[in-house]
Amino acid sequence: MDDIEEVTADIVILATGYENAVPGFLEPIADRLEQIDNELAIREDFSVCWDGPHDRRIFVQNASFGQRGLADPNLSLLAWRARRILDSLLGRASYAKPENPGFITRTFIESWPDPGAVEMGRRI
């Protein structure tokens, strides 16, 4: 396995498995990748925050459990995350509505519905 092959490509997709770890092949640029608590810092479009060219992005999935919580490794959201990445790659606006910009958001008790309305809904 001493053969080395060079390939010129516009996009590289690496399916590295279902493991939350920074792959070894990123080691040469590891000091350029932003981290938050030993995890890659991830933007809303699932691209890694780094100091490289803005048109050279690294997208990841299942790599931000600490930033996004339990929903991050959830396979049922895989298509939604893939759509966010595709929209970013194609330069399209995300389909999220401005008043609800994210699928996964924190919920504060102040945003809970009126208790009277909840009680009325139970009678239906």
Give domain status of residue 93, yes or no: yes
How far is it, in rounded angstroms, from Cα 29 to Cα 80?
28
Query: What is the per-residue pLDDT for 115?
Result: 61
Give domain status of residue 11, yes or no: no
Query: What is the per-residue pLDDT for 112?
Result: 52
Average pLDDT of the chain, as a whole number: 79
> What's the number of domains the chain is made of?
1
Half-sphere CA count of 66, side-chain side, radius 13 A: 10
Give domain status of residue 18, yes or no: no
Q: Are 107 and 71 in contact (CB under 8 A)?
A: no
**pLDDT category, 109, cuts 50, 70, 90?**
very low
Residue type at 33?
L
Give domain status of residue 73, yes or no: yes
pTM: 0.66
- 106 compared with 21, residue with greater pLDDT: 21
Give domain status of residue 54, yes or no: yes
For 63, the domain range is: 24-122
Give domain status of residue 98, yes or no: yes
The pair of structure tokens assigned to 74 is 């959830």
How far is it, in rounded angstroms, from Cα 82 to Cα 16?
16
Residues in the chain: 124
